[in-house]
């Protein structure tokens, strides 16, 4: 597995990196918020250890940006222990929150617990509708004879939510609950995820399906037959 470790304290980052390498992780390092976001995009890590107090862009902002695109496990590190900061981190989508100082053994134990909680179940399940197949175990969407496309965890859950509710308008509240979890998303995140999914689908499956915005109500998935 690949871990992205983000901390501007290079000594601490090196200690964490050594600990993770000893556990068999491949390690990527970043020292500020902007670099962290670039490494997330370029290196596709499986886990992020993210310090809150970072230069250029703080860890809370980085966490929010990443969570809008991915459900990758994120553990926040900070010297803060205020309850509002902890709750704020969880509200932004962090999976755990560790205050400094901590022992390497404690960090690894928490990492393993988070990975167990967030590990994909990969059920051998296919959601089908007409010529559309959503492979939940492989994170793939296939339409007709077109080659399948890979979906991120968030994209997969969004598509699954829309397909489960075929023939119905799906409200933003339902989408947030099924994609991010209760009180863990907002309208901007819904709009951004819908936009990314539309672009990906239209590029690979032109004029096959559409995700329609029903003003004031929500979103509805339609097939080419419905569109015509």
Count of the separate structural domains present in the chain: 2
What's the pTM?
A: 0.56
Split at pLDDT 50, 70, 90, the class of 225 is low
**For residue 162, pLDDT beyond 50:** yes
Enclosing domain of residue 156: 126-227
Tell me the β-bridge partners of 49: 5, 75
Judgement on whether residues 65 and 168 belong to the same structural domain of the protein: no
Judgement on whether residues 10 and 68 belong to the same structural domain of the protein: yes
pLDDT tens digits along 203-218: 999 888 899 999 999 9
Our CA dihedral for 79, 83, 88, 90, rounded to 10 degrees, sits at 90
Tell me what pLDDT residue 226 has: 57
**Distance between CA 142 and CA 131 in Å, rounded?**
8
Query: Which CATH number do you get for residue 204?
Result: 1.10.10.10
Range 55-79 average pLDDT:
87
Q: Per this entry, what is the length of the chain? A: 228
Range 126-147 average pLDDT:
88
Question: Residues with Cβ < 8 Å from 101, sequence gap 6 or more?
Answer: none
Range 156-176 average pLDDT:
89
Residue finishing a domain among 118, 144, 164: 118
Residue with tokens 């901590």: 102
Judgement on whether residues 153 and 179 belong to the same structural domain of the protein: yes
* pLDDT over 70, % of the chain: 91
């Amino acid at each position: 597995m690949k871990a992205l470790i983000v901390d501007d304290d290079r000594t601490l980052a090196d200690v964490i990196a050594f600990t993770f390498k000893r556990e068999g992780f491949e390690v990527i390092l970043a020292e500020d918020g902007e670099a962290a976001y670039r490494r997330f995009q370029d290196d596709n890590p499986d886990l992020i250890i993210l310090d809150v107090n970072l230069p250029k862009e703080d860890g809370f902002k980085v966490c929010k940006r990443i969570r809008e695109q991915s459900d990758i496990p994120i553990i926040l590190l900070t010297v803060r222990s205020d309850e509002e900061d902890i709750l704020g981190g969880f509200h932004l989508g962090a999976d755990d929150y560790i205050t400094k100082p901590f022992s390497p053994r404690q960090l690894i134990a928490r990492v393993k617990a988070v990975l167990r909680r967030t590990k994909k179940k990969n059920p051998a399940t296919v959601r089908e509708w007409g010529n559309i197949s959503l492979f939940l175990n492989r994170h793939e969407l296939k339409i007709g004879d077109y080659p399948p496309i890979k979906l991120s965890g968030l994209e997969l859950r969004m598509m699954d939510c829309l397909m489960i509710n075929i023939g119905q308008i799906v409200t933003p509240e339902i989408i947030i609950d099924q994609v991010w979890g209760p009180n863990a998303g907002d309208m901007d995140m819904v709009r951004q995820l819908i936009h990314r999914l539309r672009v990906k689908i239209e590029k690979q499956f032109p004029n096959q399906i559409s995700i329609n915005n029903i003003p004031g109500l929500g979103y509805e998935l339609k097939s080419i037959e419905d569109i015509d």
